Structure 1
Amino acid sequence: MTASTPSDGAEKRTGGLFRGFREILIIIVIAIVVAFVIRTFFFRAFLIPSGSMEDTLQVNDRIFVNLLVDSEEQLERGDVVVFEDQHGWLPPVESDPNAFYQAMEFIGLYPSTSEQHLVKRIIGMSGDHITVNDDSGNLVVNGTEIDEPYLYPGVEGSDINFDVTVPEGKLWMMGDNRSASGDSRSHMDGPNGGFVNVDQVVGRAEIVAWPLNRWGSAGSNNEPFDQVPEP
């Protein structure tokens, strides 16, 4: 029978600690890879920075966006979508110097602050004619006046008069808090005439994930447009 020495016990403990550390490291790497794959191909988290979509989305809501829904065939009027700001709708912002949060955002473990993205509702698609009823303030899409239940309480369909026809491959986007939304109406004199190219769409907002007391749908609602005829 061979007696063990104190050094044998120390080596065993050291080996056990090393194996435990290695296993934890492997789990962390797998979690990062899975998060990156999900963020790149399936879902991406965004942080809501403003009140332009109230009461549907609140400031500091964390939402998950379905990246698989991003083409004109998959999108519908009434969808809430996130899209890239390619036409200067947002003012220039300084980049966040915190490298840690930037890295976490890149791999999908921290929500995007939406500094180069906007979230709005699709009101018009290719060929749609959109205007405003002067008497009611409601929107009129392809000759049909619509009632929008998701609007911020007390606001009209639009406090800005406009009359547009959406070109092919483009979208007309508006916030739910119409009096506080710098949307398509505010950029009619700018690049692209206030329209958003379909290829700017990142995906459809699906879920409010945080805070927990607001967990649920991100607010897409196609019913107000059910009676709207095709252009």
Structure 2
Amino acid sequence: MIQPSTSLCLLGGLLGLFVVAPVLMASTPASMCTPLKTLNDSLSHRRRYMKHNFPINYSIRVYHEEIFRLSNISKMRLKVEGLDQLVLQRLWFQVNQGVLKKIIRVMPERHPSRSYTAELERRFRDVEGVFVQSHPAEVFQQELPETIQDIWDQLTEEPDRVPESSWRLASPKSLVDNLCHTMCCLFSECFTSTEAPQDYCGVSHLRSGRKTSNQTAEKEPEEPEE
């Protein structure tokens, strides 16, 4: 016979699962859409500040894992069965906080793009703050799938302990492009229109965007992802 105290504990545990489980399966919280759209507004100016204000072929050193593209998301979803969207969103924040810091670090104080990048990083942190507040603490204490944990460990490794083979060169523009594309994929509920739904996680979406850009007289064609 189960004692009353034991029954209460079991009931409490079940209720806890009912509280956390919907969060894990839920779409992007509505509270995140405003800061995400504000960040997206800033990203719309990335060509001017991340390309035109840098020398041709300028690149910076980043971890291999910081070149985080739509194709990386697709591969992880194929490799990890039932991969939770929330796990990918957590990884997205971890990747891009490092990317933005590295871009700011290489800019002199008077660089014409420094204030823009600092503002971008501030808005990114605003989104991250809302993201953390929108989920119970238990969500962030759960173990990550092994594949994701390996990437996480590489991202948090001290630079002087990272082997030379794990570094990559990438342009600031391509890194911020990746930030934008993967943001729209992982938080698509905030960007999808009911009138014209789009697959923000598909490479075809990027290609169509570049084609449209090429057809617009005042816009330059988008760079391919690196």
Normalization by structure 1: what TM-score?
0.28
Q: Which has the higher strand share?
A: 1
Work out which of the two has the higher radius of gyration on C-alpha atoms and give 1 or 2.
1
Q: Which has the higher helix share?
A: 2
Normalization by structure 2: what TM-score?
0.28
